[in-house]
Amino acid sequence: MTASGGTDVCILGGGPGGSAAALQLARHGVRTTLVEKAVFPRDKVCGDALSGKVMRTLERLDPALAERVNGDAHVQGSWGVTFVAPGGASLRVPFSRHTGEG
Protein backbone atom coordinates (compact mmCIF):
# COMPACT_ATOMS: atom_id res chain seq x y z
CA MET A 1 0.00 0.00 0.00
CA THR A 2 1.17 3.49 -0.67
CA ALA A 3 1.67 6.09 2.03
CA SER A 4 -1.07 8.20 0.44
CA GLY A 5 -3.59 5.58 1.45
CA GLY A 6 -4.57 3.12 -1.13
CA THR A 7 -4.63 0.91 -4.08
CA ASP A 8 -7.30 0.44 -6.69
CA VAL A 9 -6.44 -3.15 -7.58
CA CYS A 10 -4.59 -5.85 -5.66
CA ILE A 11 -3.21 -8.69 -7.78
CA LEU A 12 -2.30 -11.95 -6.08
CA GLY A 13 0.53 -13.75 -7.84
CA GLY A 14 3.48 -12.29 -9.69
CA GLY A 15 3.70 -14.92 -12.41
CA PRO A 16 3.35 -14.05 -16.08
CA GLY A 17 -0.36 -13.23 -15.90
CA GLY A 18 -0.21 -11.23 -12.68
CA SER A 19 2.88 -9.32 -13.76
CA ALA A 20 1.40 -8.47 -17.16
CA ALA A 21 -1.87 -7.34 -15.56
CA ALA A 22 -0.04 -5.16 -13.02
CA LEU A 23 2.12 -3.62 -15.74
CA GLN A 24 -0.83 -2.73 -17.96
CA LEU A 25 -2.96 -1.38 -15.10
CA ALA A 26 -0.11 0.79 -13.81
CA ARG A 27 0.54 2.12 -17.32
CA HIS A 28 -3.09 3.27 -17.37
CA GLY A 29 -2.82 5.09 -14.05
CA VAL A 30 -4.50 2.44 -11.90
CA ARG A 31 -2.92 2.25 -8.43
CA THR A 32 -1.87 -1.38 -8.35
CA THR A 33 -0.39 -3.61 -5.66
CA LEU A 34 1.15 -6.92 -6.70
CA VAL A 35 1.51 -9.56 -3.96
CA GLU A 36 3.77 -12.58 -4.49
CA LYS A 37 4.33 -15.25 -1.83
CA ALA A 38 7.65 -16.50 -3.21
CA VAL A 39 11.00 -15.00 -2.25
CA PHE A 40 13.27 -13.80 -5.05
CA PRO A 41 15.84 -14.43 -6.33
CA ARG A 42 15.43 -18.20 -6.11
CA ASP A 43 16.61 -21.34 -7.83
CA LYS A 44 14.05 -22.54 -10.34
CA VAL A 45 14.23 -24.49 -13.56
CA CYS A 46 14.33 -21.95 -16.43
CA GLY A 47 14.13 -19.14 -13.91
CA ASP A 48 17.09 -17.39 -15.48
CA ALA A 49 16.09 -17.63 -19.13
CA LEU A 50 13.65 -15.85 -21.41
CA SER A 51 12.66 -17.58 -24.63
CA GLY A 52 12.16 -15.84 -27.93
CA LYS A 53 8.39 -16.18 -27.49
CA VAL A 54 8.58 -14.48 -24.10
CA MET A 55 10.64 -11.63 -25.53
CA ARG A 56 8.15 -11.10 -28.37
CA THR A 57 5.34 -10.93 -25.81
CA LEU A 58 7.32 -8.48 -23.68
CA GLU A 59 7.94 -6.33 -26.77
CA ARG A 60 4.17 -6.10 -27.27
CA LEU A 61 3.51 -5.31 -23.60
CA ASP A 62 6.29 -2.79 -23.03
CA PRO A 63 8.76 -2.10 -25.85
CA ALA A 64 11.03 0.04 -23.65
CA LEU A 65 11.31 -2.69 -21.02
CA ALA A 66 12.04 -5.31 -23.69
CA GLU A 67 14.83 -3.10 -25.02
CA ARG A 68 16.33 -2.78 -21.51
CA VAL A 69 16.17 -6.55 -21.02
CA ASN A 70 17.84 -7.13 -24.39
CA GLY A 71 20.56 -4.65 -23.46
CA ASP A 72 21.30 -6.53 -20.23
CA ALA A 73 21.08 -9.99 -21.81
CA HIS A 74 23.82 -12.54 -21.47
CA VAL A 75 23.38 -14.99 -24.33
CA GLN A 76 24.29 -18.57 -23.60
CA GLY A 77 23.68 -21.38 -26.05
CA SER A 78 21.65 -24.39 -24.96
CA TRP A 79 22.16 -27.82 -26.50
CA GLY A 80 19.87 -29.92 -24.34
CA VAL A 81 18.38 -30.56 -20.95
CA THR A 82 18.90 -33.23 -18.32
CA PHE A 83 16.14 -34.16 -15.87
CA VAL A 84 17.29 -35.80 -12.63
CA ALA A 85 14.84 -37.59 -10.31
CA PRO A 86 15.28 -37.50 -6.52
CA GLY A 87 16.48 -41.13 -6.64
CA GLY A 88 19.26 -40.25 -9.08
CA ALA A 89 17.78 -41.59 -12.33
CA SER A 90 18.31 -39.14 -15.18
CA LEU A 91 17.03 -38.45 -18.68
CA ARG A 92 19.00 -36.35 -21.16
CA VAL A 93 17.15 -34.70 -24.05
CA PRO A 94 19.43 -33.10 -26.66
CA PHE A 95 18.07 -30.21 -28.68
CA SER A 96 18.29 -30.45 -32.45
CA ARG A 97 20.66 -27.96 -34.03
CA HIS A 98 18.68 -25.67 -36.29
CA THR A 99 20.96 -23.72 -38.59
CA GLY A 100 18.28 -21.42 -39.94
CA GLU A 101 19.05 -22.51 -43.48
CA GLY A 102 16.38 -23.62 -45.90
E strand spans, 6-96:
9-12, 32-35, 80-84, 90-94
More confident call, 96 vs 38: 38
Q: What is the pLDDT of residues 18-74, one digit of tens each?
A: 999 999 999 999 999 999 998 877 666 666 677 788 889 989 989 998 999 888 877
Q: How would residue 13 be classed by pLDDT, with cut points 50, 70 and 90?
A: very high
Residue 101 is predicted with a pLDDT of: 45
| Rounded CA Rg of the chain | 19
pLDDT at 98 over 90: no
This prediction has a pTM of: 0.55
HEC readout, 35-51: ECCCCCCCCCCCCCCCC
